[in-house]
């Protein structure tokens, strides 16, 4: 072993001791990074950087017995597989200490899982816990056992203090060692690398969600500490089962770029530098998905931004046939389904709104692209009263998720400078 390699191993060991990770660690451990997504990231998987290797998509969940699906789940899984990500699943679990509600949630969602057997299926337990700590833990353990018995890798997602206040961590880790996916942010600034000095030292952590802002307007970003995101995959490929979404992703990934036609969905590569006319491509375009409007030789025209780009500078996420099968969420009261030719300005004009207000209501800015089939809120706030009283265990992130808005929006409308500091009884404008 070279002196340099010995120094690297010692450094890694020091980090592991600092983090309190107890699993065996070899010299080739890599702190891989990846995102997690839900309907707020739209229909396709997201990368924060070209080097990302995994993503975890929300399938849906249960809120006090009310079951729901995320319309984005299947297309996020298939597009993530197409761009080479190891895709995993999480379920919003707001079932308190109710095992019957947890059972109903899993009976509904387990058959719909589109990531391979062995992959992570995490229970997102960050809201709605009861005062019965033992009962809460019983419900979580019941859920994790069900996921394990179904052939998946169970994990628990939450915040360090929510776990400490509402769950018996020692019981969970006794049965499921190194199964914790924890969220903790040192800052709300855009962050692409973990600040290790801020790691929320606690037992059993396998994934750390170290920021909710991997880019402007928000994107959760995680670091895999123990290689758990490789579960269900071998050398980056699906190791066991291939659900429909995985098969679609593999098909798109194996489609030659010369076959790109109008209707395909493509991602602009992070390494792309200029449009076909030589103009520099803005950074906010890179890593995002677009529908192909036209093709000409080795160039494709991207819809909405109406710019030509070389085929070599894009990656296929869906063929036209697959894109046509994306099931968009139906619009309801106070919502609008984006149509071809729409823009933030045109939609705002139709509904007597300011386009900046419209974008903010949807947790975005006018620099974010919209696409046909996307569902936008066009009136009111996310709650019926327009306000919410903070309860014990709440975080701005969990409140934003619950009401379909963003942490940055809640900070802006409530004058909150530090997103980590809210208190029980505080009334927030939603």
Q: Which two tokens stand for residue 373?
A: 């089939």
Burial of residue 54 (number of CB atoms within 10 Å: 0-12, 13-18, 19+): buried
* Number of helices followed by number of strands (H, E) in the chain: 12, 20
Kindly indicate the confidence band of residue 6, based on its pLDDT and cuts at 50, 70 and 90.
very low
Q: Quote the pTM value.
A: 0.71
259-268, 312-321, 325-334, 418-427: range with lowest mean pLDDT? 325-334
Evaluate if residue 115 carries a pLDDT over 70.
yes
**Is it the case that residue 193 has pLDDT exceeding 60?**
yes
Task: Report pLDDT for 58.
Answer: 96
Domains 15-242 and 255-324 share a fold: no
Q: Any idea what the Cα angle at residue 127 is, between residues 126 and 129, rounded to 5°?
A: 100
Q: 17 forms bridges with which residues in the sheet?
A: none
CATH topology of domain 255-324: SH3 type barrels. (2.30.30)
Mean pLDDT to the nearest integer, 251-274: 92
Task: Give the homologous superfamily in CATH for domain 335-377.
Answer: LysM domain (3.10.350.10)
Domains of the chain, residue spans? 15-242, 255-324, 335-377, 387-429
Q: Looking at the domain 15-242, which fold is it?
A: TIM Barrel (3.20.20)
> pLDDT category, 382, cuts 50, 70, 90?
very low
Predicted confidence (pLDDT) at residue 379 exceeds the cutoff of 80: no
Q: Which fold has domain 387-429?
A: Membrane-bound Lytic Murein Transglycosylase D; Chain A (3.10.350)
Output the six-digit token pair for 208: 């750390």
Strand intervals (E) in 49-163: 54-63, 66-69, 86-94, 120-124, 153-159
- CB 274, CB 281: distance < 8 Å: yes
pLDDT of amino acid 13: 38
The answer to which of 68-77, 186-195, 279-288, 389-398 has the lowest mean pLDDT is: 389-398
Report the alpha-carbon distance of residue 269 to residue 291 in Å, rounded.
14
| pLDDT above 50: residue 203 | yes
Higher pLDDT, residue 387 or 48: 48
């Amino acid at each position: 072993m070279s002196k340099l390699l010995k120094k690297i191993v010692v450094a890694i060991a020091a980090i592991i001791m600092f983090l309190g990770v107890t699993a065996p660690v070899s010299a080739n451990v890599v702190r891989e990074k990846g995102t997690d997504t839900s309907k707020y990231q739209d229909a396709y998987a997201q990368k924060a950087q070209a080097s990302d290797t995994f993503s975890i998509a929300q399938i849906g969940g249960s809120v006090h017995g009310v079951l729901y699906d995320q319309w984005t789940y299947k297309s996020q899984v298939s597009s993530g597989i197409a761009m080479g990500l190891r895709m995993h699943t999480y379920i919003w679990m707001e079932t308190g200490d109710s095992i019957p509600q947890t059972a109903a949630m899993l009976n509904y969602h387990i058959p719909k899982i589109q990531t391979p057997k062995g992959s992570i299926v995490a229970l997102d337990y960050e809201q709605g816990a009861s005062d019965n700590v033992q009962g809460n833990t019983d419900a979580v353990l019941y859920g994790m056992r069900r996921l394990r018995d179904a052939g998946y890798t169970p994990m628990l997602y939450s915040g360090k203090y929510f776990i400490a206040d509402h769950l018996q961590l020692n019981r969970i880790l006794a049965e499921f060692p190194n199964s914790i996916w924890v969220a903790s942010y040192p800052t709300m600034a855009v962050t692409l690398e973990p600040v290790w000095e801020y790691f929320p030292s606690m037992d059993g952590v396998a994934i750390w969600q170290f920021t909710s802002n991997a880019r402007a307007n928000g994107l959760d970003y995680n670091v895999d500490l123990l290689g758990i995101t490789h579960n269900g995959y071998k050398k980056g490929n699906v190791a066991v089962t291939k659900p429909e979404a995985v098969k679609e992703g593999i098909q798109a990934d194996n489609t030659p770029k010369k076959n790109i036609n109008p209707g395909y969905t493509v991602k602009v590569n992070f390494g792309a530098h200029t449009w076909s006319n030589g103009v520099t491509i803005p950074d906010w375009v890179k890593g995002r998905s677009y529908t192909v409007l036209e093709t000409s030789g080795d160039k494709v025209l991207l819809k909405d931004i109406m710019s030509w780009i070389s085929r070599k500078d894009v990656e296929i996420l869906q063929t036209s046939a697959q894109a046509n099968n994306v099931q968009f969420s139906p619009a309801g009261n106070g919502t609008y389904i984006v149509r071809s030719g729409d823009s933030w300005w045109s939609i705002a004009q139709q509904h007597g709104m300011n386009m900046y207000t419209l974008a903010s209501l949807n947790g975005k800015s006018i620099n974010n692209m919209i696409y046909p089939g996307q569902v936008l809120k066009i009136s009111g706030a996310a709650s019926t009263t327009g306000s919410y009283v903070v309860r014990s265990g709440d975080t701005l992130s969990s409140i934003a998720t619950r009401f379909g808005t963003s942490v940055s929006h809640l900070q802006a409308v409530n004058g909150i400078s530090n997103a980590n500091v809210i208190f029980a009884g505080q009334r927030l404008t939603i």
